[in-house]
Amino acid sequence: MTRSGLWLLVAVAASPAIAFLTYRLARELGFLDPPRDQQHEYRRSIILSIYCFLLFLPVLLFGFDRGWPRLWVLFGIVNGLALLTFGFFGVWAAVRLWRLRHPELEESPIAESPAIENVVELSAPHAGEEILEMPQPSTPAKAEPFSTDREELL
């Protein structure tokens, strides 16, 4: 058996164990549970994007460094597209998480001025007219004076 054949057998034998360990790690980290809230969902997307970046970028750089063989050029293109896709969704999730955690920094809607039809124009009093003052509301006859002492109120 050649050396590459031996490595193929080792890889095939180790694949179920690696898949099971990956499943256990994902379950323990909470990736398989439903998200608690929107922030939790965005954090998962960011972590997934970072892991994919760490996985796909070295493969892409290694392939370009070694000069992709003809058959592997398609793999390099798919790898690059996956890297761009996960990168896009990671940045999108980071921006959405930032906006969710900092709502006071978002642009507030500008108050619109009322339409011209709804504005009532009041005429200014002429020099000869008296300006009537609003009468002060009278207090009821039996009202007690206002007290700031807390013990009297209890």
Least confident of 60-69, 90-99, 131-140: 131-140
Nearest to 84 by CA among 117, 41, 48, 52: 52
> Quick one: which H or E segment has residue 107?
none
Question: What is the per-residue pLDDT across 2-60, written as a single tens digit (0 to 9) for each?
Answer: 887 888 888 888 888 888 888 888 888 777 788 888 888 888 888 888 888 888 888 88
If pLDDT is split at 50, 70 and 90, which confidence band does 62 have?
Answer: confident
Q: How far is CA 17 from CA 23, 48, 121, in A?
A: 10, 21, 82
Q: Which two tokens stand for residue 120?
A: 């009532």
**Sequence-distant (≥ 6) Cβ neighbours of residue 90 within 8 angstroms:** 45, 46, 48, 49, 50, 52, 53
Distance CA 141, CA 66 (A): 99
Please give the DSSP secondary-structure letter assigned to residue 31. S
At position 8, the amino acid (one-letter code) is: L
What per-residue confidence (pLDDT) applies to 28?
83
Distance CA 93, CA 99 (A): 10
What per-residue confidence (pLDDT) applies to 9?
86
If pLDDT is split at 50, 70 and 90, which confidence band does 144 have?
Answer: low
- At residue 69, φ and ψ (nearest 5 deg) are -65, 165
Q: Are 53 and 90 in contact (CB under 8 A)?
A: yes
Indicate whether 88 pLDDT > 70: yes
Nearest to 85 by CA among 53, 47, 40: 53
Nearest to 92 by CA among 146, 41, 33, 140: 41
Question: What is the per-residue pLDDT across 104-129, written as a single tens digit (0 to 9) for each?
Answer: 766 655 555 555 665 566 666 666 56
Indicate whether 150 pLDDT > 80: no
Domain regions of the chain by residue span: 37-105
